[in-house]
Amino acid sequence: MPIPAAFRGDIIPEADKSKMDFGSGGNAELKAWRDIWGAGQGVANIRDILPAGQLIARMIGEYADTRGRLCTAG
């Protein structure tokens, strides 16, 4: 039996868009949907900011290390 998902259009009730408030608590300058960006759940995992080349090199090294451990384990 499938589990209904909240993003399915056929089970989401129609909203009255005239009653929706996408403001920013009375701040006329900033709009929540335009100016305030959410970073998502993973923001706490960011430890440093690297150039793309260094990040890719790190990921390649981590992959090689992990693959080596997994291939020799067991």
22-66 confidence digits (pLDDT tens): 665 666 676 666 666 666 667 777 888 899 999 999 999 999 999
pLDDT at 66: 94
Alpha-carbon distance of 23 to 32, in angstroms, equals: 6
**Comparing 37 with 3, which gets the higher pLDDT?**
37
**Comparing 6 with 67, which gets the higher pLDDT?**
67
Alpha-carbon distance of 71 to 74, in angstroms, equals: 8
| Tokens linked to 67 | 């693959």
For residue 15, the 8-state DSSP code is P
Mean of pLDDT values over 3-31: 64
